[in-house]
Chains A and B, each alone.
Chain A
């Protein structure tokens, strides 16, 4: 099946810093989503972004489908950004289930 790799696995940020999270995937996809899991375990949709760039407040995401990667940018990080960020993709061919990466654990310290 499709492989999804996220980097870096762990990241510690000073409040106010910027960061970039990366998601690489091994095959063509027709769906890519970024999720945030907060420290209480709740999983929240951030972006649906199979290609192009989107922005939502301090967060933005870019997917370059032809090169099989997506980036999630966090600007001016806040302690509420702490948690795990997951990338999930749906392959264009084969089974149509979402495959998740192992996540980026982010800790923002005040």
Chain B
């Protein structure tokens, strides 16, 4: 099993360009997430999807759109990239526990380093 796979690993964009970050997991997980990591800020949630066909905004959704294409795939799109979107992006997934007493174990992809010039 590959776990959580993100592509591309690196990308350089010019201001105003668009691109889609791809994420796929092969663990049959229900929930998938997109985070961005900036120096000194930790990981901030952009969007998440609790199940196929549903998405919801996180802390920092502005400038991004997402698609939960099927259970395996969750993509993040930048329609018009801005320098403020220069960051490292992580996709993550977990299976939703059947009881509130159960915890979740989050699995991360290897990250996408994006620079917007």
Contacts and interface: CB of A to CB of B under 8 A. Distances in A.
Interface of A: 1, 30-33, 35, 41-43, 45, 48, 50, 86, 88, 90, 92, 97-103
B41 interface: yes
A101 B42 CA distance: 6
Contacts of B44: 100
Interface in B87-115: 88, 90, 100-101, 103-108, 110-111, 113
B43 interface: yes
A88 B42 CA distance: 10
Contact of A102 (B42, B90, B100, B111): B42
Query: Do most interface residues of chain A lie in helix, strand or loop, or is the interface mixed?
Result: strand
A30 B101 contact: yes
B103 A31 contact: yes
Interface residues of B, number: 24
A33 B94 CA distance: 13
A45 B110 contact: no
Pairs A-B, 5 closest by C-beta atoms: A102-B42, A43-B108, A100-B43, A31-B103, A100-B42
Given A50-B103, A97-B58, A86 B42 contact: yes
Contacts of A35: 106, 108
A97 B35 CA distance: 12
Given A86-B42, A102-B40, A102-B42, A33 B110 contact: no
Contact of A41 (B40, B59, B88, B100): B88
B103 A97 contact: no
A31 B88 contact: no
Select the residue from A1, A30, A50, A88 with max chain B CB neighbours within 10 A: A30
A1 B57 CA distance: 14
Interface string B21-40: 00000000000010100001
Contacts of B42: 86, 100-103
Contacts of A100: 35, 42-44
B1 to A, nearest CB: 15
A90 B105 CA distance: 11
